[in-house]
Structure 1
Amino acid sequence: MGPSGSFGHVNITQSKRNDFLHKQHKVLTTDPRIYPLHEVGSPYHDLRISKLRINDSAIYKCETSTDPPLAAEIRLIVIETYSVIFGSPEMRVRKGETLYLLCLVLEVVDVPEYMIWYRDGHVIDYSREDVTVTVDDLTCSSELQVRNVSEKDVGLYTCAPSNAPPADIKVSLITLGHKPYLASLLLLLQ
């Protein structure tokens, strides 16, 4: 709430739970993530919430004890950041081909500090000559390329950005004689 003279006491409430968070210079919440900021003598009152959660979405109201009372309401909508690896949950590649995986972080406010790729829970060896990883801060994406895929490259791949839950995709090899396009065509004809 901004300046415009003496406000007397200021109360801050959250409408969803109708909880007083701050009343007459006293913090009334036991949640350590929520804390009001006010310097004595300053007309400014701020409410800080760290490590936002979806259930923090609510209308927050700041009200003075002046006559008539002044009030300001702020609607906070918390959007959850998430990551995805494009494609279906399973990917099949032929031995000797190149595996391309693209991971995007969506609904993001800040660029991730890092995006780490794992295979079966172990960090990908970026020093392998047949592995390339690129990161694009503009699109909040990371691409993993594994050239000349073999049996050692199959498994569960995970993209783990610093600011979102990880995304997974299972990669397996297409066995010799398996003709996925022909099988799909035959299913369509039935």
Structure 2
Amino acid sequence: MELQEPGDGEPAFSHPLTSQLTTPLQVSWIRKRDWHILSSGKFTYTNDERFQVLHGEGSEDWTLQIKFVQKRDNGTYECQIVVPEAFILGSGEHHVDLGSVIHLICIVEKSPTPPQYVFWYHNDRMINYDATRGGITVETEPGARTQSRLTVRGATLKDSGNYTCSASNTEPASIHVFVSEGSNKMAAILRRNTSAIHGITSSVTCLLLLASVLAHFGLR
């Protein structure tokens, strides 16, 4: 946004619009003239004490205030907003053998503060403290890049399904887990390979048949 010079001695204010965002934010103010990062969160990164960030607890406004504004303060100031995000390591599917251990790791990053909690769900059921199933542990290491590890021992067919990592400050992340017997998994692979071979065989047969027809009519 463009900062216009107010009257002498009057403070200048710039207001970002953040009211439509529902997750905790990492808000930074940047002076585009020299791409100087003036602030990140409520911390300022300039020796010029005229710059200050105003943010009330629970407020959705992050205001950059410049006291005793001068002509050299004219220009464009940019507000950058980083929204925290969560993701589970691996692809969208995770395959494990019957009786083995399910290991899932959820990463929460780009957050100004670590999440207050990280809950794991199997389908629609929260399993952090699931004493009925047993064999489930959750270990969370908070930090700038929070890691939450879910371990499910002795995987059964009932443990198949959707697993969701839900942190207090991000949108949830999900992955689908398939638990199967080793023989069933191999059978599925063989079926896929057999289907591919049948497809190739059909194509070859079709080409041979076409060649025979062309030869019969003397078109080769």
Normalization by structure 2: what TM-score? 0.55
Q: CA deviation at 1:122?
A: 1.5
Aligned 8 A contact 2:82 2:110 in 1: yes
Is residue 162 from structure 1 mapped to residue 168 from structure 2 by the alignment? yes
Distance 1:125 1:164, change over 3 A: closer
Tell me which protein shows more helix as a share of its residues: 2
Q: CA RMSD in A?
A: 3.9
1:48-127 correspondence runs (5 A)? 48=55, 50-51=59-60, 62=66, 69=71, 71=73, 74-124=77-127, 126-127=129-130
Deviation, structure 1 residue 103: 0.4
* Unmatched segments (≥5 aa) in structure 1: 1-5, 15-20, 22-28, 34-42
| CA distance 1:80–1:173, shift in 2 (3 Å) | same
State the match for 1:137 in structure 2: 142
Query: Following TM superposition, by how much is the alpha carbon of 1:89 offset from its aligned partner in structure 2, in angstroms?
Result: 0.6
SS of equivalent to 1:178? helix
Number of positions where the alignment pairs a residue of Structure 1 with one of Structure 2 = 154
Equivalent pair of 2:128/2:137 in contact (CA under 8 Å): no
Q: Is the 8 A contact 1:63 1:70 kept in 2?
A: no
Q: Which residue of 1 aligns with 2:179?
A: 173
Aligned AA (2:164): T
Letter in 2 for 1:120: N
1:133-170 deviation digits (Å, cap 9, x = unpaired)? 11112441110000011122111110011111111001
Q: Distance in 1 between matches of 2:154 and 2:110?
A: 34
Give the secondary-structure state (helix, strand or coil) at the position aligned to 1:163.
coil
* Larger strand proportion of the pair: 1
Question: Once the 2 structures are TM-superposed, how far is the Cα of residue 126 of structure 1 from its aligned partner?
Answer: 2.2
The SS at the match of 1:78 is: strand
Residues in 1 aligned to 2:20 and 2:157: alpha-carbon distance in whole angstroms: 49
- Matched position secondary structure for 1:152: helix
- Shift of residue 124 of structure 1? 0.7
Deviation of 1:107 after TM superposition, in Å, equals: 1.7
Distance 1:125 1:8, change over 3 A: closer
Q: Pick the structure with greater CA Rg.
A: 2
Distance 2:115 2:14 in 1: 32
Deviation at 1:121, TM superposition (A): 1.7
Q: Percent identity?
A: 24
Partner of 1:37: none
Gaps of 5+ in 2: 1-6, 22-49, 195-199, 201-220
Tell me how far apart the structure 1 counterparts of residues 55 and 81 of structure 2 sit (CA, whole Å). 14
Q: 1:119 to 1:182 in 2, by over 3 A?
A: closer
